[in-house]
């Protein structure tokens, strides 16, 4: 693992422990390396955090690719998994703390928002395929995209997850389930 990636993984651990209040000292302590070494790669906490956002989203995209290539899954199963994709190694990250991001780190919040809004091509293609196969009823794809984006943005704008004692992964799973299956009782 290269130094940059090692630092990003250590940052995730520090974030998990302290939320947005993690310090460069804590990252250095997690990694058993000097802060000076971290500063040779990242100029400051904000640049480290901005890079961490891209790193996490890139890992999510890699997990998405694995779902797409899994021939054992039906189109509907792929849609369900892609909408709620989260790399296994990051399922325990406490993303509930991100609700304070907009106020404390607006540039980082903007980066998260940008990454949420882009990269939907595979998901859209799968939804279209599901409609062609008849496993998804005809729906407005921009509306489905907007509904999921809006839900995720609310996770990052309000402390709704903390208030309801829910973790991000479980909340995302419920949102995806409602999007895919609705709120009617199945039976």
Asked if residue 119 and residue 78 are part of one domain, the reply reads yes
- Does residue 42 have a pLDDT over 90? yes
Q: Is 87 or 29 the better-scoring residue by pLDDT? A: 29
Least confident of 1-10, 109-118, 155-164: 155-164
Q: Residue 132 — pLDDT band, cuts 50, 70, 90? A: very high
**Structural domains in the chain (count):** 2
Is 63 within the bounds of a domain? yes
Instruction: Report the pLDDT value the prediction gives residue 11, as an integer from 0 to 100.
Output: 92
The range of the structural domain enclosing residue 29 comes to 1-42
Mean pLDDT of the chain, nearest integer:
87
Of 83, 46, 47, 50, which is closest to residue 67 (Cα–Cα)?
83
Instruction: Report the pLDDT value the prediction gives residue 39, as an integer from 0 to 100.
Output: 96
Q: Calculate mean pLDDT across residues 119-146.
A: 93
- Does residue 96 have a pLDDT over 70? no
Asked if residue 38 and residue 58 are part of one domain, the reply reads no
Is 151 within the bounds of a domain? yes
Asked if residue 62 and residue 29 are part of one domain, the reply reads no
**How far, in Å, CA of 16 to CA of 88, rounded?**
15
- Does residue 28 have a pLDDT over 90? yes
Asked if residue 93 and residue 32 are part of one domain, the reply reads no
Is 187 within the bounds of a domain? no
Instruction: Report the pLDDT value the prediction gives residue 139, as an integer from 0 to 100.
Output: 93
Instruction: Report the pLDDT value the prediction gives residue 6, as an integer from 0 to 100.
Output: 95
Asked if residue 61 and residue 37 are part of one domain, the reply reads no
Asked if residue 68 and residue 24 are part of one domain, the reply reads no
**Residues 6+ away with beta carbon under 8 Å from 58:** none
Which stretch of DSSP H or E encloses residue 156?
A: helix 141-157
Is 186 within the bounds of a domain? no
Q: Which two tokens stand for residue 25?
A: 């000292």
Asked if residue 64 and residue 98 are part of one domain, the reply reads yes
Q: Calculate mean pLDDT across residues 170-185.
A: 87
For position 36, which CATH number holds? 1.10.10
Asked if residue 177 and residue 101 are part of one domain, the reply reads yes
Give tens-digit pLDDT for 67-76.
999 999 999 9
Q: How many helices (H) and strands (E) does the chain have?
A: 11, 0
Handedness of CA 141, 147, 148, 152 (dihedral sign): positive
For position 172, which CATH number holds? 1.10.357.10
Q: Is 89 or 146 the better-scoring residue by pLDDT? A: 146
Residues 93 and 168: beta-carbon distance below 8 Å: yes
Is 88 within the bounds of a domain? yes
- Does residue 118 have a pLDDT over 90? no
């Amino acid at each position: 693992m290269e130094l940059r990636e090692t630092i990003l993984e250590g940052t995730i651990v520090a974030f998990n422990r302290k939320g947005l209040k993690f310090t460069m000292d804590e990252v250095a302590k997690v990694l058993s390396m000097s802060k000076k070494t971290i500063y040779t790669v990242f100029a400051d906490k904000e640049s480290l955090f901005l890079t961490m956002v891209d790193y996490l989203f890139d890992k999510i995209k890699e997990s998405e690719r694995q779902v797409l290539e899994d021939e054992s899954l039906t189109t509907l199963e792929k849609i369900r998994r892609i909408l709620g994709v989260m790399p296994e190694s990051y399922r325990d990250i406490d993303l509930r703390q991100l609700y304070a991001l907009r106020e404390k780190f607006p540039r980082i919040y903007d980066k998260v928002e940008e990454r949420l809004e882009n990269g939907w091509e595979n998901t859209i293609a799968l939804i279209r395929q599901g409609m062609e196969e008849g496993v998804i009823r005809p729906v407005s794809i921009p509306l489905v995209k907007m509904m999921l984006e809006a839900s995720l943005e609310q996770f990052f704008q309000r402390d709704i997850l903390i208030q309801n004692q829910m973790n991000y992964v479980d909340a995302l799973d419920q949102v995806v389930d409602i999007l895919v299956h609705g709120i009617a009782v199945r039976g």
